[in-house]
Structure 1
């Protein structure tokens, strides 16, 4: 027989069944909840992720562990990044100077009054001036300061948005040229070969982080309807700035550039490597150098953990190099060009991708003839065919393999009465299978003297 006997004594208990010796008591249950104190570092990290890091693009291919590691890593290097509303960096030790090929007194061409502008353009120029003043890019020249050089500005409009640019053509005419070489982007992008992880970064406000020498500031004075202003940082449109920037980059990152995992074209920075651990180590080296010279990176233009990227009109991965179809879409939608300048612009655009197009020189030959000085512009059958073929080639050209310099190459050559052409190929192992594909196409027209023999 089973039952429950309850005893109302001080120590409450009950028994089950006939076993009076087995006493079972109800004890009060105390639930203990432990709340771990969140460290200030974790709070700051979460704030960084929610307020700043969400501006950057992080690849969906990363695992949760890799994404968390990347977030903590970028937080540790947060001083290297800034948003549009934060103070600009001022790169240390690389001030920009300007050298003229003339002496005082300067010609009147270097002192031009402000250009006439519409009320809307004047209003927007005041907005741009205020933004540059707030960023510390310019300062207002006092009424008692001597002014020898003034450059007028132009307010350019595109899709309803304005941009203020200085008309520095006269200043550039009298500036001694700097011949420091700029790397070819197509060659630079081949360094991404075999990379699995790619990170891209962009310098905030570009050249505005380059400080100008005191002497050069007097040459960089712009004039608008509301006064004269002096650039303290390099403005856009100045001669020699790309050469100066490239020299500066080579001096800041000599070892990193020579090792091949860092690619910098102007203010566009690429870090690429095969393994995640090594990629993060290389990224740390790059950001440490960036912080050491007080350069700032724009987070909203950063991309991390990519397998492929769109850069300077190309789609690039560790295996191939292709044309960014979004860049050529606008060209395809335009009707047949009917002016010489339009054909010249089209040839410049398609020529940028000539390494992707087989026998480019022979195809474009009729179009180049149209652009000769002594040629009457008239679209004939050959030029129309060349135009249509190039437009089609921009969207149907094959992907180029990234070269592997440890493997042999194959060179296919061809020649005709109009031009010379070659195709550089290579056999690579892709998905455990040997695949032969083009590395690049090369072509040029036959010169008149060469055609005689």
Structure 2
């Protein structure tokens, strides 16, 4: 079946859906937090490579936002390229928390043990980056590196409400999954 329907799977590095995630950046009244970029000459080239990749993929754009969170590269242990990390701690301090519960691992394992014979798994490559954020929220995602000032067009790692918003969106997208076993039996 996977070979027969292989066109349904996207193997590209970045794939952005048309789904827009809302209510990630609800904040109390505040002055936009700003910071200077972290300086690290050892990661300058890697930072530039990632910025260029993100710009080309439509994940970020140049920004003139009053917000500016510092960003830096975190190296990986397995010699893969590093990943861009934005320090949103100042933004998170002024963000109204989303009280939506995340599923408990024990509940998920209990559900899996209900006698199912076959299991499948979806692994979203850069999952957060597959969902857009509304234009009204983009300024709050702004970050600075020595190369410039940018903002995300998609959901990014770091904002405190990102996990809850991502989970709710995935539940809506996958709601049909509750009934999928009936399709194949």
Larger relative contact order (Cα-Cα within 8 Å, sequence gap ≥ 6) = 2
User: Quick one: which of 156, 161, 186 aligns to 2:74?
Assistant: 156
1:235 aligns with 2:153: no
User: Quick one: which of 78, 98, 102 aligns to 2:25?
Assistant: 98
1:174 aligns with 2:76: no
Give the distance between the partners of 1:70 and 1:214, measured in 2 at CA. Answer: 37
| CA 256–163 in structure 1, closer or farther in 2 if over 3 Å, else same | closer
Write out per-residue CA displacement over residues 361-393 of structure 1, whole angstroms, 9 at most, x where no aligned residue.
xxxxxxxxxxxxxxxxxxxxxxxxxxxxxxxxx
User: Quick one: which of 72, 82, 97 aligns to 2:10?
Assistant: 82
Q: TM-score, normalised by structure 2?
A: 0.87
Q: Is the 8 A contact 1:139 1:232 kept in 2?
A: yes
Match of 2:3 in 1: 71
TM superposition shift of 1:70: 4.2
TM superposition shift of 1:96: 5.2
Q: Is the 8 A contact 1:113 1:150 kept in 2?
A: yes
User: Quick one: which of 30, 33, 39 aligns to 1:116?
Assistant: 39
Give the aligned CA root-mean-square deviation in angstroms. 2.2
Give the distance between the partners of 2:152 and 2:135, measured in 1 at CA. Answer: 10
The 5-angstrom pairing of residues 317-336 of structure 1 reads: none
Give the distance between the partners of 2:2 and 2:125, measured in 1 at CA. Answer: 21
Q: Is the 8 A contact 1:151 1:221 kept in 2?
A: yes
Q: Is the 8 A contact 1:96 1:212 kept in 2?
A: no
Give the distance between the partners of 1:91 and 1:188, measured in 2 at CA. Answer: 28
Q: TM-score, normalised by structure 1?
A: 0.38
| CA 245–116 in structure 1, closer or farther in 2 if over 3 Å, else same | same
Write out per-residue CA displacement over residues 192-235 of structure 1, whole angstroms, 9 at most, x where no aligned residue.
22222221111231100111111110111110111101110011
TM superposition shift of 1:100: 1.0
SS at match of 2:44: helix
TM superposition shift of 1:84: 3.5
Match of 2:49 in 1: 127
Give the distance between the partners of 1:174 and 1:93, measured in 2 at CA. Answer: 22
The answer for unaligned runs of 5 or more in structure 1 is 1-68, 262-272, 283-453
Give the distance between the partners of 2:104 and 2:3, measured in 1 at CA. Answer: 33
Q: Is the 8 A contact 1:121 1:155 kept in 2?
A: yes
Give the distance between the partners of 1:132 and 1:251, measured in 2 at CA. Answer: 27
Structure richer in strand, relative to its length: 1
| CA 204–169 in structure 1, closer or farther in 2 if over 3 Å, else same | same
The 5-angstrom pairing of residues 214-363 of structure 1 reads: 214-254=135-175, 256-257=177-178, 281=184
